[in-house]
Amino acid sequence: MSRAEPVPLSETVPGSAGRRPSPLWTFGLLRSELVTTVRRWRTLALLAVLAAVPVLVGIAVKIETRGGGDVGHGGQGPAFISQITNNGLFLVFTALAATLPFFLPMAVGVVAGDAIAGEAGSGTLRYLLVAPAGRTRLLLTKYTTVLAFCLLATLVVTVSALIVGALLFPLGDLTTISGTRISFGEGLGRALLIALVVAASLVGVAALGLFVSTLTGSGIAAMATTVGLVITVQILDQIPQLHALQPYFFSHYWLSFADLMRDPVYWDDLTKNLGLQALYAAVFGSAAWARFTAKDISA
């Protein structure tokens, strides 16, 4: 498969005329994208910040309750915080509730915003397109990489919180927020399920960031716009006059992951959240595709 041959002008869909690379090749592209993304200092710094949040929360709760005191004074603070001292597993839920509104979407916004615009900004996008992948395939690979980062970021918070919780606080059977008891094993299962739901909650932001990333040639501009949108939408979600629009904001049902700690689980908001994220992925994913495949790449 020589890349030196001139490409016929009549070829409209790249890579379609007898040049379709094997699926293994796509896998190779994905792997190289994943490795590049995770190896960046920026990504490592973001993950370190995410891992530090549960440590901070855990130590703060430990210090505050040292004298047998009470944390969360009558229900203030992030969800589940008053239960941490009794069961370290609750640190996982508190840490996810604390990072989901800002830290996690910010990290995803940075990675997603950088995906296309960063390559364009540093002049490497045209070389990526030389590879026989085609733009659609490259975009899909980029999006898959961002989704993998969503999962990775969430798992970093979860694992960090689990370790800190196990070190600082007792573990054991836990009480669901409905007042029923479940075993530690089931609690751990629910924690994992919650981590997956939180990762899925970021699918919408990832698609939005990817779309913004195709609009501009500057990586910084794309990251700033995506993170700015995350903040703006969450502020708008607090304005009561906009209540008719709010169910369609990607962040509206984020905290519904707490419904997994009810017994029986209350699925209404959870399914709404997942449906909404799928909708955002479809709308902004296809918009990113339309933009990216129709755009002139000059850098």
Q: How far is the CB of 47 from another protein (least distance, A)?
A: 25
Query: Residue with structure tokens 């830290």?
Result: 103
Q: Write out the binding residues for another protein, residues 35-54 only, by CB under 8 A.
A: none
Distance set, CA 193 to CA 127, 196, 251, 258 (Å)? 40, 5, 19, 11
Which region among 21-29, 43-51, 148-156, 255-263 touches another protein (by CB under 8 A)? 255-263
Q: How far is the CB of 79 from another protein (least distance, A)?
A: 3
* Count of residues interacting with another protein (CB under 8 A): 57
Does 264 sit behind a cis peptide bond, omega within 30 degrees of 0 on the bond before it?
Answer: yes
Six token digits for residue 253: 């049902």
Figure out which of the listed residues 37, 43, 82, 145 binds another protein, where binding follows CB under 8 A: 82
Figure out which of the listed residues 35, 48, 70, 239 binds another protein, where binding follows CB under 8 A: 70
Query: In sequence order, what are the residues at sequence separation of 6 or more whose Cβ sits closer than 8 angstroms to the Cβ of residue 259?
Result: 265, 266, 267, 268, 269, 270
Q: Write out the binding residues for another protein, residues 117-136 only, by CB under 8 A.
A: 126-127, 129-130, 134-135
Q: Could you tell me the sign of the dihedral formed by the alpha carbons of 123, 126, 131, 135, in that order?
A: positive
Contact map string, positions 212 to 251, toward another protein, x by CB under 8 A: ----------------------------------------
CB 55, CB 164: distance < 8 Å: yes
254: amino acid identity, one letter: W
Residue 75 interacts with another protein (CB under 8 A): yes or no: yes
Residue 31 interacts with another protein (CB under 8 A): yes or no: no
Q: How far is the CB of 14 from another protein (least distance, A)?
A: 5
Query: In sequence order, what are the residues at sequence separation of 6 or more whose Cβ sits closer than 8 angstroms to the Cβ of residue 24?
Result: none
Q: What angle do CA 251, 256, 261 make, to 5 degrees?
A: 155
Which spans of this chain sit near another protein (rule: CB under 8 A)? Answer: 3-4, 6-7, 9, 11-12, 14, 70, 72, 74-75, 79-80, 82-83, 85-87, 97, 126-127, 129-130, 134-135, 170, 172, 174-175, 177-181, 255, 258-259, 262-263, 266, 268, 279, 282-284, 286-287, 289-291, 293-298
